[in-house]
Structure 1
Amino acid sequence: MLEFLDLGNNHIRDTFPSWLGTLPSLTILILRFNRFYGAINVPKLDSWFSSLQIIDLSHNGFIGLLPTKYLKRWNAMADVVKEKTTYQLAYHYSMVHNIAFAHPYHYSMTMTMTNKGVRMEYAKILEVFSAIDFSCNKFEGEIPEVVRSLKGIRLLNISNNNLVSSIPPALGKLMNLEAMDLSHNKLTGSIPLQLTQLNFLKVFNVSHNHLIGPIPKGQQFDTFDNSSFDGNSGLCGLPLSRKCDNPKASPPLSSPSKGNEDFGLLVEFG
């Protein structure tokens, strides 16, 4: 019945504990700031983390490709539930006549994650909040297209790795995304126009890659400053001072109209 496991900020030296994926109710897994190493391989057991909504593997020594096989199975991150405003709670169980009764403790689950470039303490975690943080490891290869299926995630941080190739236009399908950090990799090509469709995107960072071409215009992209694009000598257009040879090369991409709802992150400090 384990739902929340935070082993962050320790000195654990081991490979990825894929066997934890057999826990059917595990929703939050925090392994940040440890000494985990090696590739995240396909598990031998049926251990896919079927209920996982938040995973933080940042600041470890993982290598190899991003775990595509896992990403395909994280169905809880694919769900988009906008109406729920309840929080993750810890429960204890009691047995009365062989029937289990759940009783919430008086405290909520808490965690620390790096969101929007800032290390933040989440005193309460919305049940709809989903996040992936694989930053500060040694992952390589391309960003897998299968990420497009995780339409419920609000935060995607895969910065400070060795990722190559272009940014998949399919990331424009993550319509609930509020923060995307792809900085400090080896990404090439242009910034896809499809990303301008991310109406809730408040933080976008592709600095220190090898990107080229005009920076897209319109929607949230008109709000990002220079720091989002630093360290890419081939990028041009606002907000950078470097002008493009063909200013019409990057027209704004039409996108669905933004509704009245604002599903921004709710952060409360304890």
Structure 2
Amino acid sequence: MFYIRKDSEWAHSEINRYLSIMVLDLRMRIPFKPVRHNDFGYEYTLTPEFTAWLREKNGRIERRFREEGFGSSFTQYQRALDVADRTEREAVIEETRIRAEVMEDMVGALEYALKYADVSRSPREIVTYVNKALLTRYYEAQARRKGMRRVTVDGRRRMIAPFYEGAIRTILGVNSTEDYVYRRVSSKQADFLRELIGIVETDMAAGDCAAYHVLPDGEYRLSRKYAAEKTGLSYTTVKMRLLRIRKLITERVA
């Protein structure tokens, strides 16, 4: 919410300056309580209800500005209000989305914690376990939403951010260009690779990477089982084809 509003901070400051003009110079009554005020200015929180009221009174506000010689100020006020209003609508939408995600992940984490709580323990021990399990599971769920994956590194499980190094490397685990690969393999093998490359590139563009393995360093690797499901071939056929292709690519040319 803070970052959404950050780029429009100037608009909120400008609007409060004009609201101060309305109260102090134009002697208009604003039916909302200011956060703070003094003899030189007023500061309000721009809630959706407040901005809706300002829109409703727009004609009256413009008339008062022009009557008192603040016509150019009204134009600037309108510009600032448009920016602030749009930003607040975006912020409310984002807040609703985030709250829904938080509640979904928190409920799931709580259900997990309660499922495995040992009720034969003391109330204090149960609460300690539930708190720890709840937070652990919740932060894992939040990390997964950000695209992070759990991997084992040096015998320890941790969450890392996966990365994509291109279709050929994701499929075969080698650094090579498509042109070089196609020169080394048969036409049937090339067609098979083109199909897999299309699958990988489509998935990565869509961010649909749940079916891919993640190596300890975070690199994506195509699952042979997933490749078999997508191509309609058997797991063994996919595995052996990729082994043969990899061998052709990596063996030294005589």
> Normalising by structure 2, what TM-score?
0.21
> More helix by proportion, 1 or 2?
2
> More strand by proportion, 1 or 2?
1
Larger radius of gyration: 2
